[in-house]
Amino acid sequence: MVPPKEWRPGWIEEEKGLFPHSGDDMIISSGIWKWDMPEWAASNPKYKRNKWLKVPREEIDPWGTIWNRTGKNTSMGHPGRPTLTDWSMLDDHLEKYTPDNFDKSRYAPFLNMMELYGKDKYRLGMLGLMGPFQMAQNMRGFSNFLIDHKRHPQELKRLLAHFTEHLIECMDGWIRFGGNPHGFLLVEDLAAQNGPFLSPKMFREFYEPVFGTLAKAAHDRGRTWFHHCCGKIDKIIPDLIKWGTDALELDAPRMTGYTDLKPFRGKITFFGCVDIQTVYTQGTPEECEREVWHMMRNLGTKEGGFGAYFYPQAAHIKVPSANFHGFESGLKKYGTYSEIPDHWWDYPTLTKWEGYVVPPVPPLESQN
């Protein structure tokens, strides 16, 4: 989705000096969405013709949250200073900054792409820039957000419920305007490198009404429910499965670890990229090729259950082009379930994986 056509960031006094945050600079640089620049920006020569994309700046998104950008690359940047600094501001903030999901212009560019390229593809409608967990922390600031689960639970639950309802409207927008998605994708990181941000008990209390409701809404509309999540998430995967998640998309499967993901094979579909923190960015093309088999083995079963996912902003993380082609080559060699030797599924796997080590594939002939 793109920002609303009538969105005019930077025009009101409290937004002076703030630039638009679209989620991806390509949306602006390509002209898909055009910023109606306020006087303070239009009168500055260094901001004309999208030159402002190259300068350090603060941006504001349609939810009124602030992002820090360095101007040195096209990555989306990082959440900046909180804007919902006091819970007494909640109603006013949401009234002012809740985007319209039934503005067809927000879907139009991708509906056109679907007509050109997607009619014979499996289509996922992405719901917003990110999910309720991250939108709430962006508004409140990360530390305040975590503390809110204890000190302001009712206010936080109201905010999460608002986001949940909004994302269900987004599902209906995709359907109403002809996107005809087969499933919906939520982008939501729920864990750090070593484990979830919240205990499983607290996670269930606050987020079953969120993720369970969203999964049910997708299923009620005849769609599958996909969840992107980075971090070490094995402790909360049973809850996500219970609440109806059909598939987890992992940019870095080794962050959770194959050993801790393996028990969920066949219980949920994993969509995975060659690990962006290790092998994909730091390994060789041959290692990327072999890693495809290890993802198939550890995240899928001989009946299926693993799907390949290519990280869409490869340039942001500096993936060598040869490694991209190594990933492709691995899919051609190992990505067709019916062509994998049956004994490979019984071949022993590692119990301890070193970050950058990619073991050999099993021998072609059975050892028995």
What is the Cβ-side half-sphere exposure of residue 276, based on CA atoms within 13 angstroms? 19
According to DSSP H, which parts of the chain are helical?
25-29, 39-42, 90-97, 108-113, 132-140, 142-151, 153-176, 200-207, 213-220, 237-242, 253-256, 258-261, 279-282, 285-299, 321-334
Of 81, 100, 126, the one marking the end of a domain is 81
Please count the structural domains in the chain.
2
Give the CATH number, domain containing residue 271. 3.20.20.210
Closest CA to 189 of 308, 76, 354, 327: 76
| Structural domain includes residue 361 | no
| Structural domain includes residue 210 | yes
Closest CA to 133 of 102, 106, 167, 103: 167
Residues 155 and 76 placed together within one structural domain of the fold: no
Contacts of residue 235, Cβ cutoff 8 Å, sequence gap at least 6: 195, 196, 200
Residues 202 and 256 placed together within one structural domain of the fold: yes
Residues 105 and 39 placed together within one structural domain of the fold: no
pLDDT tens, N- to C-terminus, the chain (368 residues): 899 988 999 999 999 999 999 988 989 999 999 999 999 999 999 999 999 999 999 999 999 999 999 998 778 899 999 999 999 999 999 999 999 999 999 999 889 988 899 889 999 999 988 999 999 999 999 999 999 999 999 999 999 999 999 999 999 999 999 998 999 999 999 999 999 999 999 999 999 999 999 999 999 999 999 999 999 999 999 999 999 999 999 999 999 999 999 999 999 999 999 999 999 999 999 999 999 999 999 999 999 999 999 998 898 899 999 999 999 999 999 999 999 999 999 999 998 898 789 999 999 887 66
> CA-CA distance, 360 to 293, in Å (whole number)?
9
| Structural domain includes residue 363 | no
| Structural domain includes residue 8 | yes
Of 65, 81, 97, the one marking the end of a domain is 81
Full residue range of the structural domain in which residue 25 is found: 1-81
Q: What integer pLDDT is reported at residue 368 of this predicted model?
A: 63
Q: How many CB atoms lie within 10 A of CB 315?
A: 12
Closest CA to 211 of 232, 226, 200: 226
Contacts of residue 23, Cβ cutoff 8 Å, sequence gap at least 6: 61, 76, 129
Residue 248 CA to its chain's centroid (Å): 10
Distances (CA, A) of 273 to 162, 249, 269, 339: 32, 8, 13, 21
**Owner of token pair 């639970």:** 153
Residues 144 and 24 placed together within one structural domain of the fold: no
Radius of gyration of the chain (CA): 22
- Global pTM value: 0.94
What is the Cβ-side half-sphere exposure of residue 211, based on CA atoms within 13 angstroms? 33
Residues 155 and 246 placed together within one structural domain of the fold: yes
What's at 22, amino acid-wise? S
Residues 316 and 269 placed together within one structural domain of the fold: yes
Residues 4 and 68 placed together within one structural domain of the fold: yes
> What's the count of helices (H) and strands (E) in the chain, helices before strands?
15, 10
Residues 124 and 3 placed together within one structural domain of the fold: no
| Structural domain includes residue 354 | no
Are 240 and 210 in contact, with CB atoms under 8 Å apart?
no
Q: Strands, E, within 205-246: which ranges?
A: 224-228
Tokens representing 224 are: 């599958």
Of 81, 96, 131, the one marking the end of a domain is 81
Residue 343 CA to its chain's centroid (Å): 35
Residues 70 and 202 placed together within one structural domain of the fold: no
| Structural domain includes residue 313 | yes
Tokens representing 89 are: 């501001």
Pairing of strands 57-60, 66-69: antiparallel
| Structural domain includes residue 213 | yes
> CA-CA distance, 145 to 175, in Å (whole number)?
33
For the chain, percent helix, then strand, then coil, each to nearest 5?
A: 45, 10, 45
Are 67 and 59 in contact, with CB atoms under 8 Å apart?
yes
Return the DSSP state at 75: S
Q: What integer pLDDT is reported at residue 198 of this predicted model?
A: 97
Are 248 and 220 in contact, with CB atoms under 8 Å apart?
no
| Structural domain includes residue 74 | yes
* Three-state DSSP class for residue 336: coil
Residues 99 and 77 placed together within one structural domain of the fold: no
Residues 145 and 290 placed together within one structural domain of the fold: yes
